[in-house]
Structure 1
């Protein structure tokens, strides 16, 4: 999950947002009904599309890929600073999307969790474009996660201290630059001006992290099928049988 060395400098840089920077608390035991179900028929995507092309923002603040009415709803609570989430994106998403989401049986929803201050600018930037780009940008971030860790390790402590002394609307802008996030997202269609505007919206940042805290997860990735949080390991080897047991077969 999040690397330990980030926490002191990011807590300092985001001091006025301290309430934003923690994981939600709560019991990760399974809740909700039984996930077992009868086999579910495939559902055709809209003409000229695959279901993976259909992404919408949900009332819960997540981003849902696939058939909005899919009878099997998979939710991932993930953090962009989480190395296990990066592993899940690499090892699970290709088969999940091609074999399950594109069948119309299963939808996939990503809900961002804040583990530390690195997650705040990263998630705000991933959400700075159109909703249909958010999941793809998140997967690209996870695939390149190491470069942001390296940037944090290489940056002088004074850079974080200077960021912490800026006006609130400038702090996340400075943090994103320290991590190299602004350039990363600019290469993927989010201009510097657009990125800075998203990062300068302190009220939106506050609302985003409060939403994250409301999920009440204690580890990432946490996976949920039809409202039931899974207690199995968050790996494709463990998840695929759960999807099939829920009816994706």
Structure 2
């Protein structure tokens, strides 16, 4: 989907489609190579890998050892129910068990299925880089509440879709309750409005997301890669089995 196409899509028409927009079917390029258990790698003195956050050249947000031998990447949409399920079942284990060892890093990259995803990504990436993944997890943990806001004022959402880009997404966040949702989690409404009103920032975000999705042939969310190789399946038990097969413990 091109930048201009995504930014001009009718918002109202997309609302009923969001629950079915993501794909939890497995997409594979072959099994992840097996490896021996990899010993833990100590973090630099005074630090820990679970609090280490890097913004990658691909535009993703990575937690853990930047040089971890096992680099797990998730392509995800914030309006994807299967992504929300993974955020509840898999991400806590990744962050609490695997990332602290220094053996596994976890990078989250955006996929935009609709303009709502643009708004939410714009807000999750608005503050400190350390807050991006926690804010994303808050969205997925409360997806029913988020959807209620997105679908609760269709006339106002439709009107927002007609505004210039430097107004559209901030107004959309206002009328759907997203500014309030994020403000309750530490990102002020004024800060959110400022980020969403930066047209150049929004256009760059959409363009980069489109480029990476095309490059890695993303057709559904979530989609996982380990060390650049597409993984089998989307359920956490399948992802964890492949991580362990590759040497994570």
Q: What is the TM-score of this pair, normalised by structure 2?
A: 0.85
**For structure 1, which segment, 158-167 or 212-221, has the greater mean C-alpha deviation from structure 2 after superposition?**
158-167
The residue that corresponds to 1:128 in the other structure is 126
Indicate whether 1:175 and 2:169 are aligned.
no
2:32, 2:226 within 8 Å by CA — same for their partners in 1? no
SS in structure 2 at match of 1:125: helix
The residue that corresponds to 1:203 in the other structure is 200
Mapping 1:1-249, distance limit 5 Å: 11-13=9-11, 29-30=28-29, 35-155=33-153, 157-214=154-211, 215-216=213-214, 217-230=218-231, 232-249=232-249
d(CA) in 1 for partners of 2:32 and 2:225?
Answer: 12
The residue that corresponds to 1:6 in the other structure is none
d(CA) in 2 for partners of 1:165 and 1:241?
Answer: 47
d(CA) in 1 for partners of 2:192 and 2:227?
Answer: 34
1:35, 1:228 within 8 Å by CA — same for their partners in 2? no
d(CA) in 1 for partners of 2:28 and 2:237?
Answer: 20
1:169, 1:201 within 8 Å by CA — same for their partners in 2? yes
SS in structure 1 at match of 2:247: coil
1:14, 1:171 within 8 Å by CA — same for their partners in 2? no
SS in structure 1 at match of 2:40: coil
| TM superposition shift of 1:147 | 1.1
d(CA) in 1 for partners of 2:132 and 2:110?
Answer: 11
Partner deviation per Cα, 1:120-148 (whole Å, 9 max, x = no partner): 00001000001111011111111111112
Q: Unpaired runs of 5+ in structure 1?
A: 1-9, 16-21
| TM superposition shift of 1:93 | 1.2
The residue that corresponds to 1:19 in the other structure is none
Count, aligned residues: 227
d(CA) in 2 for partners of 1:13 and 1:203?
Answer: 20
Q: 1:201 to 1:109 in 2, by over 3 A?
A: same
2:68, 2:105 within 8 Å by CA — same for their partners in 1? yes
**For structure 1, which segment, 85-94 or 180-189, has the greater mean C-alpha deviation from structure 2 after superposition?**
180-189
SS in structure 2 at match of 1:197: helix
Q: What is the TM-score of this pair, normalised by structure 1?
A: 0.85
d(CA) in 2 for partners of 1:136 and 1:46?
Answer: 23
SS in structure 1 at match of 2:71: strand
Partner deviation per Cα, 1:181-221 (whole Å, 9 max, x = no partner): 10111122221121111101112111111211122311111
SS in structure 1 at match of 2:106: strand
| TM superposition shift of 1:87 | 0.4
| TM superposition shift of 1:29 | 4.2
| TM superposition shift of 1:92 | 0.6
RMSD: 2.2
